Amino acid sequence: MSDLPKFVHINEEGPREGFQFEKGAISTARKIELIDALSATGLRTIQVASFVNPKNVPGWADAEAVVAGFERKPGVRYTALWLNAKGFERAAATQRLDITGSITLTASATFLKRNQNRNLAQNLEAQREIIDLYRQHGTPIERGAIMAAFGCNFEGDIKIATVLALIEDILALAAEHKLDIKVMSLADTMAWATPLSIKRMIGAVRERHPDLRLALHLHDTRGMGIANALAGLEMGVDIFDAAVAGLGGCPFAAHKGAAGNVCTEDLVFMLQEMGIETGVDLEKLIAAAELAEDIVGHPLPGSVKVGGPLDKMRAAHR
């Protein structure tokens, strides 16, 4: 437990994750309402929209309108998702987002084809092209990411050696363009990870690249989200993607129960109980989770919004 970080940075992805996955139409105004509520919680990074093909992800056909409508709060970074040059240019054109680039590869060829309609070689070349585009726009590139890093519904378990090779590919691309990758994100896109596989993967990466800061993107389809986050914490990971109330899921994962990211308020609760700082007001975050549930119109899987934090209960027993 000696590797536990003192502070954890949470990238809130609930709006983007959730509104890409919900079957019913959600108004632009209500999407903005949730983003503004999250802005008041102390979260420092919020992914607010997805600039993807609206034919494939109709829930984000209004990405520009959402980005134009939310109120920017000082100290909060507002980010977005895109999968190609067109999406990046749409996001950049809003001039309201904190745009940074990443080099993103995928450990599963089948998932890559379904998600982005590319093969592995095409994706590698696409990364070169988008790096050039980022540089033309003066966009900083300090992050690498590997999707489906722990397992795939189409291909099964992903070997550690596969992920290590992809990290080398990312670092080679970065070196080719004289870039310094500061963070490497490992995504459990289809929720195959367990605490043991998290520790084995992170241990292998740390052994090869001890100075590379790691982030985790964890899904909770099989109820392992918080357990996997704890395993990552114990290995020194201090950056996590999360989704308020457990919103969302991946529409291309071939799993009807594909849950969203690890629930933000559950993660913050655990971290606070462990004495790890996040800068997040848990009560305000729970209120945002309740709002998210109201917006989508059905129960969401977060637990702490139901059970509540322990502070008030402890106070009652003093």
Contacts of 4 (CB under 8 A, 6+ apart): 233, 234, 236, 274, 276
The answer to whether residue 317 is domain-embedded is: yes
The answer to whether residue 223 is domain-embedded is: no
Q: Which pLDDT score is estimated for 117?
A: 84
Write down the residue that tokens 């536990």 correspond to. 4
Answer for the pair 213, 182: CB distance below 8 angstroms, yes or no: yes
- Taking phi first (over 0 means left), then psi (-120 to 50 degrees means alpha), and beta for anything else, what does residue 60 get? alpha
Distance between CA atoms of residues 310 and 156, nearest Å: 39
Q: Same domain, yes or no, for 147 and 183?
A: yes
**Is the Cα dihedral 92, 98, 99, 103 positive or negative?**
negative
Q: Same domain, yes or no, for 165 and 267?
A: no
The answer to whether residue 238 is domain-embedded is: no
Q: How does residue 260 score in pLDDT terms, banded at 50, 70 and 90?
A: confident
Domain of 11, in residue numbers: 1-96+243-318
Q: Give the residue from 163, 196, 213 where a domain finishes.
A: 213
What are 197-244's pLDDT values in tens digits?
999 999 999 999 999 999 999 999 999 999 999 999 999 999 999 999
What's the CATH number where 146 sits?
Answer: 3.20.20.70
Amino acid making up residue 278: T
Q: Same domain, yes or no, for 119 and 171?
A: yes
The answer to whether residue 193 is domain-embedded is: yes
Alpha-carbon separation of residue 217 from 11, 120, 161 (angstroms): 9, 21, 19
CA atoms within 13 A on the CB side of 296: 24
Q: How does residue 313 score in pLDDT terms, banded at 50, 70 and 90?
A: confident
Q: Same domain, yes or no, for 116 and 177?
A: yes
**Enzyme catalytic residues:** 250
- The number of distinct structural domains making up the chain is 2
The answer to whether residue 107 is domain-embedded is: yes
The answer to whether residue 5 is domain-embedded is: yes
Q: Which pLDDT score is estimated for 249?
A: 60
Q: Same domain, yes or no, for 45 and 84?
A: yes
Q: Same domain, yes or no, for 106 and 66?
A: no
